[in-house]
Amino acid sequence: MALTCESATQDLSLEQFPPQSKSRRKYLSIHIKRRLLNRAQNQCEHVDLKHHRRCASTFQLQTDHVIPLALGGTNEESN
């Protein structure tokens, strides 16, 4: 899982991901959220592929799957 800010997720189109027939979504525990924040040094983990720079935003971070659940991703911390 990765922490991203709102501006880093604007480019994603929901049309890329087909709807799931059965929800696999679970809430993350506060312990996992804290580990993710510590790992990310409390900032967005999105890397701009054009400039190879990491986003420096610390505002309204959200947790995203590296591989979306709809594409076979898991709820493991590594995803």
Q: For residue 20, is it within any domain? A: no
Q: For residue 43, is it within any domain? A: yes
Instruction: Give residue-wise pLDDT tens across range 27-78.
Output: 778 888 899 999 999 999 999 999 999 999 999 999 888 888 888 888 888 8
Q: For residue 63, is it within any domain? A: yes
Domain range enclosing 59: 2-9+26-71
Rounded CA-CA distance 55/34 in Å is: 19
Beta strand pairing call for 53-54 and 62-64: unpaired
The DSSP H or E segment spanning 53 is: strand 53-54
0.85 exceeded by pTM? no
Q: For residue 18, is it within any domain? A: no
Q: For residue 39, is it within any domain? A: yes
Rounded CA-CA distance 55/62 in Å is: 13
The torsion of the CA quartet 26, 8, 18, 67, rounded to 10 degrees, works out to: -60
42 vs 3, residue with greater confidence: 42
Confidence of residue 9 (pLDDT cuts 50, 70, 90): low
Q: For residue 56, is it within any domain? A: yes
Instruction: Give residue-wise pLDDT tens across range 67-77.
Output: 888 888 888 88
